[in-house]
């Protein structure tokens, strides 16, 4: 998932970028409204984190131009130090999907990002595809090159995590948290699960899709050999 963060406070920006990258997101940034608007319309992002008090063009204007002028439906979370009802309403009326008041916990920001992405994907996200691999989330059927594959419950969950973020690299801790939450197994269960997934997804086929990024984690992507 690719996220654009538009924030002029350097300390807040650095903290948000580091935390989102730790969670496995691909992140770009801008420190003023004009640059942020330009980047938002020049590339694809799954979500935008947008501060209100920005130099050049404030967050309300950026949001309104994205919605009304550019016709963008990309989810937007607004960040602000203002907690008055009128300010929150103005942010929502300008087209924001959510509103987070500073100071905020980084874990809450990520929780809201996941919630908004789930809502925005809706029924359109019931079919995941990478190269010749497909996963129907309604029927739980996985196919590669038209061949039906069998995976256990944990394998399906791991595959969904990797496919949703493809081609991004997911850190080990992100995958472990997604599979087991806070109750992590003591043994190296993730490596075992990756091995089992490879036996089904990659071994019978010519080109591997699951790749190890040593010291970091794993990704699922089509790569030229």
The strand pairing partners of 79, in sequence order, are: 51, 100
**What percentage of the chain exceeds 70 in pLDDT?**
91
User: DSSP letters along 104-147, please?
Assistant: --HHHHHHHHHHHHHHHHGGGGSEEEETTEEEETTTTEEEETTE
CA distances from 196 to 147, 154, 187, 212 (A): 18, 10, 15, 14
- How far is the C-alpha of 100 from the C-alpha of 186, rounded, in Å? 36
pTM of the model: 0.55
Tell me: pLDDT of 122 over 70.
Answer: no
| CA gyration radius, the chain | 19
Q: Report the alpha-carbon distance of residue 164 to residue 5 in Å, rounded.
A: 20
CATH of 154-220, one of 1.20.1270.360, 1.10.3720.10, 2.60.40.10, 1.10.10.10: 1.10.10.10
For the domain bounded by 2-122, which CATH number is listed? 3.40.50.2300
Q: Please determine, for residue 123, whether its predicted confidence score (pLDDT) is greater than 50.
A: no
pLDDT of 28: 94
Structural domain boundaries in the chain: 2-122, 154-220
Residue 85 has pLDDT above 70, yes or no: no
CB 75 within 8 A of CB 100: no
């Amino acid at each position: 998932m690719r996220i654009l963060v538009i924030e002029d406070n350097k300390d807040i920006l650095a903290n948000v970028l580091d935390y989102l990258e730790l969670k496995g997101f691909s992140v770009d940034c801008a420190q003023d409204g004009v640059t942020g608007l330009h980047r938002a319309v020049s590339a694809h992002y799954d979500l935008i984190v947008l501060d209100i008090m920005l130099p050049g063009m404030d967050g309300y204007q950026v949001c309104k131009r994205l919605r009304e002028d550019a016709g963008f439906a990309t989810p937007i979370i607004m960040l602000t130090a203002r907690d008055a009802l009128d300010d929150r309403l103005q942010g929502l009326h300008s087209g924001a999907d959510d509103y987070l008041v500073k100071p905020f916990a980084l874990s809450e920001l990520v929780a809201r990002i996941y919630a908004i992405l789930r809502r925005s994907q809706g029924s359109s996200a019931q079919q995941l595809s990478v190269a010749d691999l497909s996963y129907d989330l309604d029927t739980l059927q996985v196919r590669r090159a038209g061949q039906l594959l069998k995976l256990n419950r944990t394998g399906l969950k791991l595959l969904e995590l990797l496919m949703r973020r493809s081609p991004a690299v997911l850190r080990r801790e992100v995958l472990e948290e997604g599979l087991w939450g806070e109750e992590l197994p003591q043994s190296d269960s993730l490596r075992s699960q990756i091995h089992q997934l490879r036996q089904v997804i990659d071994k019978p086929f010519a080109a591997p899709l699951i790749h190890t990024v040593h010291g970091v984690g794993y990704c699922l992507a089509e790569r030229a050999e």
